[in-house]
Amino acid sequence: MVVVYPGSFDPVTNGHLDIIERCSKKFEKVIVAVLNNPSKKPMFTVEERVELLRAVTKGYENVEVDSFSGLLVEYVKKKNVSFIIKGLRAVSDFEYEMQMAMMNRALDNSVETLFLMTNSKYSFLSSSLVKEVAKLNGDISDIVPKEVERAILNKIKGV
């Protein structure tokens, strides 16, 4: 079975990698799909996020990194996939993600959303929090891969 794991991944965190690794062990192929959302002001461009994800997932032979814009159900249909993976950290994630899953089903009833609970050691972790801590000179070395930490610090320094 092939699944799509969508997100903004701005930046990818160890929580995201936990979901990717677990999916890579359970599914034939995992497509990590970076959302290009023009209404947001990301730290990294879509291309940078794709490259960072490729760098940190290179050890997984069955993981492909791609990007998309527009409706997720359209992207999933184009990829000929029926399953979306969404990671959940807390009940608040569930409420939002359930609403999105129901909308996706309303748009295309052949698409299913599978929810995975994050590892409890990452339950507090969000990309926004990582960026905020980094901008305030906090240590992010335990919550993002080394390549991502370097990229974030370079962005903050303007390198």
State the catalytic residue, choosing from 25, 40, 41, 157.
Answer: 40
pLDDT value for 129: 93
| 48-68 mean pLDDT | 97
What pTM value is reported for the model?
Answer: 0.94
Candidate list 16, 24, 67, 131, residue with the active-site label:
16
Catalytic residue among 22, 54, 79, 89: 89
Q: Which residue intervals of 3-110 are DSSP H helices? A: 14-26, 46-56, 72-78, 91-107
Query: Is 71 labeled as ligand-binding?
Result: no
pLDDT of residue 148: 97
Tell me the average pLDDT of the chain: 94
As to burial, measured by CB atoms within 10 angstroms (0-12 exposed, 13-18 middle, 19+ buried), residue 66 is middle
Q: What is the pLDDT of residue 158?
A: 82
| 123 annotated as belonging to a binding site for a ligand | yes
Q: Is 69 annotated as a binding residue?
A: no
Q: What number of H helices and E strands is found in the chain?
A: 6, 5
For the question of residue 24 being annotated catalytic, the response is no
Domains within the chain, CATH numbers bracketed: 1-156 (3.40.50.620)
d(C-alpha 4, C-alpha 33), whole Å: 7
Catalytic (active site) residue 127 = yes
Note the pLDDT tens digit of each residue in 125-156.
899 999 999 999 999 999 999 999 999 999 99
The question of whether 40 is a catalytic residue gets the answer yes
User: In the annotation, is 121 catalytic?
Assistant: no
Which positions ≥6 away from 68 have C-beta within 8 Å? 6, 33, 34, 35, 36, 75
